[in-house]
Amino acid sequence: MPTTFAPNLLAAISKLERVLVEFSKNKVTFCYCISEYPTAFNKIQWNEAKKYDGFSDHTLGIVAPIIFTMLKKRNNTKNIIIEGHEGYKKAQNFMKMIMPSHVKKIKKYRD
């Protein structure tokens, strides 16, 4: 191997070490993500999504993130805070359909 590559390799390793140190300072979160827009609701693989820390999708509306939150947290979720009156009402109505006992966990965001 030519010696001219050694300085570049050492610099790359040094830079990688600095990046790893920065990442180790923060908690890493892995999200289930579908980049197709808009995402059809039936394309979400819920069993796969539950394996991740977070959820990022391009479905229309707020239904998919609410389902993910409820599946992921189950009964450990204290509240789901929704911004905007229309979104709040939709979330409440949807929760009434899928988990009526959890409707009280839907809260409207207040400044």
Q: Global pTM?
A: 0.45
Domain hosting 98: range is 28-108
In a domain, 32, yes or no: yes
- For residues 99 and 73, the answer to whether their CB atoms sit within 8 Å is no
40 in any annotated domain: yes
Total structural domains in the chain?
1
Q: pLDDT over 70 for what percent of the chain?
A: 88
Query: Is 86 a domain residue?
Result: yes
Cα gap 4→12, rounded to integer Å: 14
Whether residue 87 lies inside any domain: the answer is yes
pLDDT digits (tens, 9 = 90+) for 6-46: 566 777 777 878 877 777 777 777 888 888 888 887 888 88
Asked if residue 8 belongs to a domain, the reply is: no
In a domain, 103, yes or no: yes
What single string gives the DSSP state of each residue in 29-84?
--EEE--SSSPPGGG--HHHHTTSSEEE---SSSHHHHHHHHHHHGGG---EEE-S
Which pair of structure tokens corresponds to residue 93? 């109505």
- What pLDDT sits at residue 76? 66
Q: Show the tokens assigned to 32.
A: 């289930």
Would residue 31 be called left, alpha or beta, if left means φ above 0 and alpha means ψ between -120 and 50 degrees? Answer: beta
Is the residue at 79 inside a domain?
Answer: yes
Task: Please indicate, yes or no, if residue 50 is contained in any of the structural domains.
Answer: yes
Kindly give, in sequence order, each residue whose CB lies less than 8 Å from that of residue 109, ignoring residues fewer than 6 positions away: 81, 82, 83, 84, 88
